[in-house]
Homo-oligomer: A and B are copies of this chain.
Amino acid sequence: MPRTMKKELAVVLVSGGMDSCVCAAMALQQHESAFLHVSYGQRTARQELRAFQRIAEFYGTERTLVCELSHLGRIGGSSLTDAAIAVEEADLERREIPSSYVPFRNAHFLSIATSWGEVLGARSIFIGAVFEDSSGYPDCRPEYYRAFNRLIEAGTRPETRLEISTPVIRMKKSEIVAAGRRLGAPLHLTWSCYRDGDIACGRCDSCALRRRGFREAGVEDPTPYLDAEKT
A binding-site residues for B, Cβ under 8 Å:
65, 67-72, 74-77, 97, 101-108, 110-112, 114-116, 118-119, 138-139, 141, 143-144, 146-148, 150-158
Please list the 4 inter-chain residue pairs (A to B) with the smallest Cβ-Cβ separation, ordered nearest first.
A77-B119, A139-B155, A107-B111, A103-B118
Dominant SS among interface residues on chain A:
helix
Chain B hits for A148, CB < 8 A: 151
Contact in complex: B75, A116 (CB < 8 Å): yes
Chain B hits for A110, CB < 8 A: 107
Which residue on B lies nearest to A105, using beta carbons? B115
- Which of B72, B108, B146, B157 is within 8 Å of A97, CB to CB? B157
Could you write out 11 A-B pairs with CB less than 8 Å apart?
A69-B69, A75-B112, A77-B118, A103-B114, A103-B156, A104-B115, A107-B110, A107-B111, A107-B115, A138-B156, A144-B151
- Contact flag A104-B138 (CB < 8 Å), given A77-B119, A115-B75, A147-B150: no
Chain B hits for A71, CB < 8 A: 65, 67-68, 112
Chain B hits for A158, CB < 8 A: 138
Contact in complex: A151, B107 (CB < 8 Å): yes
Which residue on B lies nearest to A74, using beta carbons? B65
Complex Cα–Cα for A106 and B71 (A) = 16
Complex Cα–Cα for A139 and B148 (A) = 13
